[in-house]
Amino acid sequence: MSKYSIEAFVNETKENPQERDYFELEKPQLLEINLNNQSVWTKIGSMVGYIGNIKFEKQGMLSGGLGNLLKKAISGEGARLMKAEGTGKLYVADSGKKVRILHLNNESVCVNGNDVLAHEQSIKNDITMLKSVAGMMSGGLFQVKLSGTGHIAITTHGDPLTLLVTPENPVFTDPNATVAWSGNLSPELKTNVSFKSLIGRGSGEEFQMKFSGSGWVLIQPYEEVYSVEK
């Protein structure tokens, strides 16, 4: 059999039937969710395929009391989740970004809203916002605090790097490159006046997130800019 035959291609790329974990990394950029009469939350538009009897229902993440003005300020697609329910295999991905699976054990993490790919129904999600409007304009629109016990899946452009935050060494990051951080940290938004005066108002480096205390911050080698829908 030629290594370039269709049969060889199928054998190389087919899914592994031995993998039965609830959340399974089928490929670095592709998450497999094995549902057994269960429900899971996934990012709207992330479904790329499924096998079995699975139903989908759109849900607004922002229906928990945030004002209409705030809802309009946040990108509609990035701010919404889809509920998938039933039995079968569900495959989700997001623009070729790498997927990381985390299992929370009565813990919490904060994730940039655009980087939440999926989470178990047992996980609670709460929208948190940077207090400064400038944070929204620089691309760090909103964060989702995921807490409880269960699986979550987040996405990054390229291979991420974790920076440790200590009381002696706070960490500063670009909001557009910041993916997630430990749930006990509350970032502040800092303005770098010298950058503003040096290269004008168009630079993302004008705004920085400052993390103080003890914990960690996950950054990606990419500055992700989000579109805002009116």
Average pLDDT over residues 125-130: 77
**Tally: H helices and E strands in the chain:** 4, 14
Within 8 A by CB and 6+ apart from 222, the residues are 156, 157, 158, 177
pLDDT of 58: 81
Model pLDDT, residue 86: 97
Report helix, strand or coil for 177.
Answer: helix
Domain covering 16-219, topology: Double-stranded beta-helix (3.60.160)
What φ, ψ does residue 79 adopt, rounded to 5°?
-100, 10
Residue 159's pLDDT band (cuts 50, 70, 90): very high
25, with CB counted inside 10 A (0-12, 13-18, 19+), is middle
> What's the whole-number mean pLDDT along residues 207-213?
90
Structure tokens at 174: 């670009």
Q: How far apart are CA 167 and CA 93, in angstroms?
A: 37
- Token pair 């999600």 in the structure block, residue: 125
> Rg for the chain (alpha carbons), in Å?
19
Identity of the residue numbered 218: L
Q: Reduce the DSSP state of residue 110 to 3 states and report it.
A: strand
- For the chain, give every domain's residue range: 16-219
- Which region among 39-48, 97-106, 191-200 has the lowest average model confidence (pLDDT)? 191-200
